[in-house]
């Protein structure tokens, strides 16, 4: 989908601070408040803005351990993969799940309070999968970048004709 340059500016601003007022947003992108609000509503209606969320500090709520878990299955069977995906989707500890290519089949981002909670998660979710062959856990020591924005927005808009 091609976006107008003003929509790109709106999206970039909202990715930096979705909590700003429509008036502040309109001022930053050079639109009137009603025109800006209309564009934001259109971006939401078209599914370009999927949702607006609050990011809760994991440190503030005591969920300080982040694990990157690589899971290898014994088979590439779609039904088996879907069972694993369903189990992962029902696990509140799993914050992200990627079905990937390469040496492993899935990469999970798991957030827990301590190693004991992680062990319980492994027993309940990972070891419970009948076709799980192997998994590797990487303990995150420090997050050096956390960015939910979609980069490269500038490359998807139509250049206005003059």
Report the distance separating Cα 77 and Cα 80, nearest Å.
5
Handedness of CA 57, 59, 64, 66 (dihedral sign): positive
- What's the confidence (pLDDT) of residue 156? 61
Report the distance separating Cα 61 and Cα 55, nearest Å.
12
User: Three-state SS for 30?
Assistant: coil
Domains of the chain: 5-54 (1.10.10.10), 65-139 (3.30.70.920)
In this predicted model, what pLDDT tens digit does every residue of 8-53 receive, in sequence order?
999 999 999 999 999 999 999 999 999 999 999 999 999 999 999 8
Report the distance separating Cα 160 and Cα 16, nearest Å.
25
Residue with tokens 């040496």: 103
In this predicted model, what pLDDT tens digit does every residue of 70-96 receive, in sequence order?
999 999 899 999 999 999 999 999 999
């Amino acid at each position: 989908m091609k976006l107008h340059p003003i929509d790109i500016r709106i999206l970039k601003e909202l990715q930096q601070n979705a909590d700003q007022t429509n008036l502040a947003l309109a001022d930053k992108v050079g639109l009137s408040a009603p025109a800006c609000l209309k564009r934001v509503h259109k971006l939401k209606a078209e599914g370009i803005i999927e949702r607006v969320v609050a990011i809760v500090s994991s440190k503030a709520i005591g969920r300080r351990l982040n694990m990157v878990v690589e899971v290898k299955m014994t088979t590439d069977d779609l039904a088996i993969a879907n069972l694993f995906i369903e189990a992962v989707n029902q696990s509140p500890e799993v914050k992200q799940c990627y079905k990937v290519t390469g040496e492993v089949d899935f990469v999970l981002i798991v957030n827990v309070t301590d190693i004991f909670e992680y062990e319980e998660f492994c027993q309940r979710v990972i070891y419970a999968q009948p076709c799980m062959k192997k998994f590797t856990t990487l303990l995150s020591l420090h997050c050096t970048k956390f960015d939910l924005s979609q980069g490269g927005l500038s490359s998807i808009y139509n250049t206005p004709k003059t």
